[in-house]
Amino acid sequence: MTNNPEYFKAERDQEWRVALRSQIKNKERTSRERVKMPEQDPNIRNKNSLEVNLGLTEEQAVSEAQRCIDCPNPTCITGCPVGINIPKFIKYIEARDFLSAAKTLKETNSLPAVCGRVCPQEVQCEAQCFYTQKLKKPAVAIGHLERFAADFERNSGKISIPEIAERNNIKVAVIGSGPGGLAAAGDLVKMGYSVTVFEALHEIGGVLKYGIPEFRLPNDIVDVEINNLRKMGVEFITNFVVGKTSSFEDLKAKGYVAFFTASGAGLPRFMNIPGENYVGIFSSNEYLTRVNLMGAAKADYDTPVLFGKNVAVIGGGNTAMDSVRTAKRLGAERAMIVYRRSLDEMPARIEEIHHAQEEGIEFMNLNSPVEYFADESGRVNRMRLQKMELGEPDSSGRRRPVPLTSSEYDVDVDMVVVSVGVSPNPLIPSAVDGLNITKWGTIHVNPDNMQSNISDLFAGGDIVRGGATVILAMGDGRNAAAGIHAYIQQTLVN
C-alpha cells in the first residue's frame, strides 16, 4: 500500500524534492498570504448555474504550492480520509509538473476533481496542516491545489489511467454509483477484479449527480471521472435495484463473490408538523433531484419543478445551502434559511455559508417551523415559525435549541424545502436475511474493513454512517476494497 511512513519518507528524500526545498527559504515560504480562490461575482452567479469558484491560475497555483514547506512529518496526510500523498502532489505543482501532480492524486483518489471541489478540507487535511497547527496562520490551500491539478490534467487531454493489475476474472459487485461505490470500484479494478457497479437510477454518479448542484460540481466533471473508471474496466449497469431487479442470491449465481453496498442514505426526513404535505413543500432530495438530475428548470426537459418567489429552506447543512442557493438561482425574490440553532452551530461548510450570504440568502437562525398553511389549491402560502434560544449542549456537543413560549409568528412562503437530514434506505438492509442492522437502520460493519456480519457483504458511506460527506464515503470505499481483497484472498484464492 502507498500510505506508510517509509513510503512517504522515501518519496520526500528523492533528489527533485530535496532540490526544490532548498530553492526557497522556509521563512519566505511562510511569509506569503494564502491564495484567494477567484470567484464569479455574487450578483451575477446567483442568476446562473455556472461554477462559483473559477479555479486557480497556473501562477497562483505555483505560488501557493511554494507556501508548503514539505514537512518531514506531513500531518496533513493524517487528515485525509483517502490518504493522499499531499506534499508530493503539491511539490509537483511547485515544480510545474502538473500532470505528475494529478497522477499522484490518483494513486489514492479516483475522483480528485470532485474532492478538490466538495471536500471540507478546512476540517480535514488543512486542519492538520503545519500552518494551522503550529504557525496559527491560514493553511496551505490543499483543496484549491487538488482541484487545480485535476482540472489541469482534464483540460490537457492527457488523462492518465492508473496501472491495472492482471485481470483475475473474480467478479465483485458494487451497489450504488455514488462516491463510495466509485472509490471502491476504482480500487478493486486496479487490483485486477472484474467490477460491476449496479445503479438504481438512470445515471451514474449518485449524490454527485442528483444532489450537488452544477454551481458547485458540474456534472461534466463527474462524467470525466466516471469515464476514467470505464476505461480502467469498471462495468456500469443503470436501472438496476439490487434486492428488487435481482436478489443477492441471483447475483451470486451469476458468479459475484463479494458485494460492496454503498446505497446511500435514501429516505428524506420530514418534521411531521401540520401541513407538511401541502403542494410546494419538497424534501431537499426531491427538489435537488428535479433540478440537477432531471433538468427540470430547463425548457427542453420534460420534468417539471415549481418556482417559488418566497422560498424557505429548513435546515443548516450543506444540502440546505445547495437547496436555498438553487432556489435563488431559479428566481426566488426571498430565499431563506430557517435553522433552529445559531450560525456557529451550522453543520454546513463555512465556505458555503459565506457564498450563500454573498448571494443574498437570508438567514433566519434560531427559528423553527411549527405549521404550514395553504391556499384552496393546496399550495403552501404561509409558515408559522417559533423562535428558539440555545440551552445546554446535547449529545452532539452542540447547544440544544429550546423553543421560546408565545414566540410564534407567520411568514409568507410559496415554496418550502425540508432539509433536516435523511434516514437509511431500508431497501438493501431488508433484502438480506440476518444482516446486522443498527437501531438507526444503518448497516453494522467492522470499521477496519467495512465487513458486515454476512462475510461476503461489505458496506460504507451513508448506509453505514447515516449521513456524512463525499470524502468519508470514498474513504469507506477504499477501506472496503482492501477488505474485500483480503477476504477473497483468504477464502477463495488460498
Q: What residues line the site for another protein (CB under 8 A)?
A: 200-202, 210, 238-241, 244-247, 264, 266-268, 270, 272, 276-280, 282-283, 285-286, 289-290, 294-295, 298, 300-304, 306, 377-378, 425-427
DSSP for 63-109 reads HHHHH----SS-GGGGG-TT---HHHHHHHHHTT-HHHHHHHHHHH-
Question: What phi, psi does 53 have (nearest 5°)?
Answer: -85, 135
- Residues 6 or more apart from 295 whose CB is under 8 A from it? 301, 303
Cell 480520509 locates to 81
Q: What angle do CA 124, 316, 269 make, to 5 degrees?
A: 105
Distance CA 494, CA 491 (A): 6
Percent helix, strand, coil in the chain, to 5, is 40, 20, 40
DSSP for 343-356 reads GGG--S-HHHHHHH
CB-wise, 272 or 395, nearer to another protein?
272
Report in angstroms how near the CB of residue 289 gets to another protein at its nearest.
5
CB-wise, 304 or 447, nearer to another protein?
304
Residue 105: name the closest of 158, 62, 60, 142 by CA.
Answer: 142
CB-wise, 17 or 269, nearer to another protein?
269
CB-wise, 59 or 302, nearer to another protein?
302
CB 348 within 8 A of CB 374: no
CB-wise, 178 or 401, nearer to another protein?
178
Report in angstroms how near the CB of residue 327 gets to another protein at its nearest.
16
Please list the alpha-helical segments (H only) found in 95-178: 98-108, 112-118, 130, 142-156
Distance CA 264, CA 251 (A): 20
DSSP-assigned letter for residue 4: S
Cell 438504481 locates to 200
CB 117 within 8 A of CB 217: yes
DSSP-assigned letter for residue 296: T
Report in angstroms how near the CB of residue 292 gets to another protein at its nearest.
11
Distance CA 160, CA 153 (A): 8
CB-wise, 26 or 247, nearer to another protein?
247
Going 438 to 440 to 441 to 446, the CA torsion angle's sign is: negative
Host H or E run for residue 389: strand 380-393
Report in angstroms how near the CB of residue 282 gets to another protein at its nearest.
8
Report in angstroms how near the CB of residue 427 gets to another protein at its nearest.
6
CB 265 within 8 A of CB 422: yes
Q: What's the residue count for the chain?
A: 494
Report in angstroms how near the CB of residue 378 gets to another protein at its nearest.
3
CB-wise, 53 or 289, nearer to another protein?
289
CB-wise, 77 or 417, nearer to another protein?
417
Report the DSSP pairing between strands 415-418 and 281-283. parallel
CB-wise, 76 or 311, nearer to another protein?
311
Report in angstroms how near the CB of residue 244 gets to another protein at its nearest.
6
Report in angstroms how near the CB of residue 353 gets to another protein at its nearest.
25
Report in angstroms how near the CB of residue 185 gets to another protein at its nearest.
20
How far is CA 273 from each of CA 161, 368, 371, 386, rounded to the nearest angstrom?
51, 11, 6, 12
Report in angstroms how near the CB of residue 272 gets to another protein at its nearest.
7
Report in angstroms how near the CB of residue 219 gets to another protein at its nearest.
13
CB-wise, 246 or 365, nearer to another protein?
246
Report in angstroms how near the CB of residue 318 gets to another protein at its nearest.
17
CB-wise, 378 or 393, nearer to another protein?
378
Cell 486496479 locates to 190
DSSP-assigned letter for residue 416: E
Classified as helix, coil or strand, 289 is helix
CB-wise, 62 or 267, nearer to another protein?
267
* Three cell numbers written together for 29: 515560504
